[in-house]
Amino acid sequence: MTLEQLEVGETGIVKEFTDLEMSVKLMEMGCLPGEAIKVSRVAPLGDPIAIHVSGYQLSLRRFEASTIVLQ
């Protein structure tokens, strides 16, 4: 299951990434394997989404969220 499939309010733990280039950027922003991610809201038009990770709020597009595999 990927981050993209989570509903608002749900939490998941990062397991791995499907896109190496994207993973480098995501990890720099604190989305590391083992880290808990909670979906805090979805943009009014359904994309992008906002997540709560390592103490702050981050927004990313659905496509980007789909590269994050959850445990």
Partner 1 sequence: MKAEIRVALVGNPNTGKSTLFNALTGLNQKIGNFPGVTVDKKTGFCPLPDGRRAEIIDLPGTYSLYPKSKDESIVFSVLAEKGSDLSPDLVVVILDATNLKRNLLLYTQVADLKIPIIIALNMMDMATKAGIDIDVNLLAKRLGVPVVPISARKEQGIDDLKKLIAYANQVPLQTDSIYVNALAPALIDDITEEIGASSPYFALQLAHQHEHLKFLTPEQSDRIEELEKKHSFHSQKAQAAETIARYNYINDVLYDTVQTPQTAHEESLSNRIDHILTHKIFGFIIFMMVLLFMFQSIFAWSAYPMSLIENSFVWAEGALRDILPPGPLADLLIDGVVAGLSGVLVFIPQIAILFAFISILEDTGYMSRVTFMMDKIMRKVGLNGKSVVPLIGGFACAVPSIMSTRTIENWKDRMITIMVTPLVACSARLPVYTLLIALVVPNKNIWWIFNLQGLALTGMYVLSLVSAVLVAFVMKFVLKARERGYFIMELPVYRMPRWRNVGLSMFERSKTFVLQAGKVIIAVSVILWVLSSYGPGKRFEQIEKRYSQPQFTQSMTPDSLKRVISTEKLENSYAGVLGHVIEPVIKPLGFDWKIGIALITSFAAREVFVGTMATIYSVEGDADRIDSVQDKMRKARNPNTGQPAFTLAVAFSLMMFYAFAMQCASTVAVVYRETKNWRWPAAQFAYMTVLAYTMAFLAYHLLK
Residue 56 interacting with partner 1 (CB under 8 A): yes
Residue 16 as a binder of partner 1 (CB under 8 A): the answer is: no
60 lines the binding site for partner 1 (CB under 8 A): yes
Q: Output the six-digit token pair for 15.
A: 């397991």
**Within a 10 A sphere around the Cβ of 53, how many other Cβ atoms?**
20
7 part of the interface to partner 1, by CB under 8 A: no
CA 20 – CA 39 distance, rounded (Å): 22
Which residues in this chain contact partner 1 in the complex, by CB under 8 A?
A: 20-30, 32-33, 40-41, 43-48, 50, 52, 54-61, 64
